[in-house]
Amino acid sequence: MLKAKPNLESRIRTLKRVWLIIYDMLRGKNNDFGWDEHRQLVFAEDASHKETGQFKHRSFPYYDQLTAIYAKD
């Protein structure tokens, strides 16, 4: 058994959790969120959205790849 396996599994869970938050923000009923393809991050049209605080200056370059893997039907 690989010693790195628990670390890899933890990283996968973290990526999936962050992806799901971003996916729900972009695909939800709220149209105030957008995706900056160039910088690979979420932006909000309305500055009152506190939910984007943790993602405001944090890129997520794996969004497209994880969407292909985890996207809901």
In whole angstroms, what is the distance from residue 21 CA to residue 7 CA?
21
19 falls in which pLDDT band (50, 70, 90)? very high
In whole angstroms, what is the distance from residue 58 CA to residue 53 CA?
9
The CA distances from residue 37 to 3, 12, 13, 28, 46, in Å, are 36, 22, 24, 18, 19
Query: Taking the complete model, does pTM exceed 0.85, yes or no?
Result: no
Cβ pair 26, 34 in contact under 8 A: yes
Q: Which two tokens stand for residue 73?
A: 């039907």
Q: What is the pLDDT of residues 33-47, one digit of tens each?
A: 888 999 998 887 766
- Note the pLDDT of residue 55: 75
Look over the chain and give the mean of its residue pLDDT values, rounded to a whole number: 83
Give the mean pLDDT of 55-63: 85
Residue with tokens 């909000």: 44
- Note the pLDDT of residue 47: 65
Checking if the pLDDT of 26 tops 60, the result is yes
